[in-house]
Amino acid sequence: MSNLVVSGGHVLTPVGERFADVIVRGGRIVELSDATSDNLSVGAKKSDASRVLDATGCYVTPGLVDLQVNGDAHCDLWGSPTDADLSAMRSALAGAGVTSFLPTLITGDITHLRANVDMLTARGAGVHDKWSQDSSGARMVGIHLEGPCLSEKRPGVHPPEYIVAPSIEVFSALVNDSVRLVTMACERDSGSTCTKWLEQHNVVVSIGHSNATYAEARSAFDAGVRMMTHTFNAMAPLHHREPGAVSAALLDRRVSCCLIADGLHLSPQAVELIYRLKGSDKVILVTDIAHIGTTGGDLVGSSITLDAAIRNVVNWGVAGFREAILMGSYNAARSIGLENEIGNICQGALADLILWDKETLAIKQVVLGGNVL
């Protein structure tokens, strides 16, 4: 990994914006040094960088983090992807600014799901010593199990014949150290037994594909659930007499709401409603991208990219660019306990960076582990 200075850009961090140079050594950020008027900081001049990347006229942000990737045009995680499929998907994601993600497995036969969990783990998913050192494509920082313990009344695209009630037996068969996130219909988890078991195994629980009432959702949040999967989609709608899980999540400051800002899964107005109630620190942008994305009719995953979702949020007037970046990077990383390594520009974090044109918000350059793609 070569040493690098990203020089003269407007650097966006969780705490603000700085006209600064980002100094990288060994694939990690070692310093943010305030830039001088000639666009080359004292820190950059003193460094032994083998390359200086000019970021004049650009925003410099962390690499994006997507918690829900079912596949893409190259790879179908619902099937039996090959090494070549995974490599092509990881390369495409990184090229579009997603430097870290959770490969997502939906409801299916338990044996098939476990085989895919093991396959992804063998290829480095959720294995810190592997993903933190691998800059060949977007980092698989864990695995997201979206199912099979969902509501039979809110299956969405999930095959209903494989939906099962939550149990320790089911999760013991599926969960290993690489699984970081589980989507579950929490109203089916009697006494929050599975929620507690998953938390003990360092797995984040998100309520989704749920028919929970307001009271049932609040009970889940009181038991430790802190996230909602693709808010408003595949769950009981908000009703003025039974506000349901959506209202419970929107009104609970402990809970982060994931959403798909493609204009199809949610209207711009619904995105704004979520943002106004939750604020920039409790919204997480996801793509839910799938091998077969949304083409009209029923919603089967999406085909949006995360950088496009960020531009949508800005262009719809929902939030500013810095806030949209937080929702597409830092918030996701924080939700799975990785905010000091990914989705952030701070000392010690992996040098996963994006340079954006300040006028068009188009991606101009991606840096992965200090390597310029």
Residue 356 parent element (H or E): strand 353-357
In a domain, 341, yes or no: no
In a domain, 365, yes or no: yes
Note the pLDDT tens digit of each residue in 208-240: 999 999 999 999 999 999 999 999 999 988 889
Q: Are residues 198 and 271 in the same domain?
A: yes
Q: Are residues 78 and 153 in the same domain?
A: yes
The pLDDT-based confidence of 299 (bands split at 50, 70, 90) is very low
CATH number, domain containing residue 57: 2.30.40.10
| Angle at 353 (CA atoms; ends 350, 354), nearest 5 degrees | 165
Residue with tokens 């006494």: 191
Residue 257 parent element (H or E): strand 256-259
Q: Are residues 256 and 183 in the same domain?
A: yes
Note the pLDDT tens digit of each residue in 303-320: 799 999 999 999 999 999
Task: Answer for the pair 48, 4: CB distance below 8 angstroms, yes or no.
Answer: no
C-alpha to C-alpha distance for 210 and 27, rounded to whole angstroms: 41
Q: Are residues 72 and 185 in the same domain?
A: yes
**Does the pLDDT value for residue 187 go beyond 50?**
yes
- The CB density around residue 212, as the number of other CB atoms within 10 Å, is 24
C-alpha to C-alpha distance for 263 and 313, rounded to whole angstroms: 10
Task: Answer for the pair 309, 285: CB distance below 8 angstroms, yes or no.
Answer: yes
Note the pLDDT tens digit of each residue in 139-166: 999 999 999 999 999 887 888 999 999 9
Residues 6+ apart with CB under 8 A from 168: 193, 194, 197
Higher pLDDT, 366 or 40: 366
In a domain, 340, yes or no: no
C-alpha to C-alpha distance for 10 and 322, rounded to whole angstroms: 11
DSSP string spanning 86-109? HHHHHHHHHHTTEEEEEEEEES--
pLDDT of residue 43: 52
Nearest to 213 by CA among 155, 138, 151: 151
In a domain, 150, yes or no: yes
Note the pLDDT tens digit of each residue in 37-76: 455 555 545 456 678 999 999 999 999 999 999 998 889 8
Residues 6+ apart with CB under 8 A from 248: 212, 214, 217, 218, 221, 255
In a domain, 205, yes or no: yes
**Does the pLDDT value for residue 361 go beyond 90?**
yes
Q: Are residues 135 and 236 in the same domain?
A: yes
Q: Are residues 68 and 54 in the same domain?
A: no
Domains in the chain, number: 2
**Does the pLDDT value for residue 241 go beyond 80?**
yes
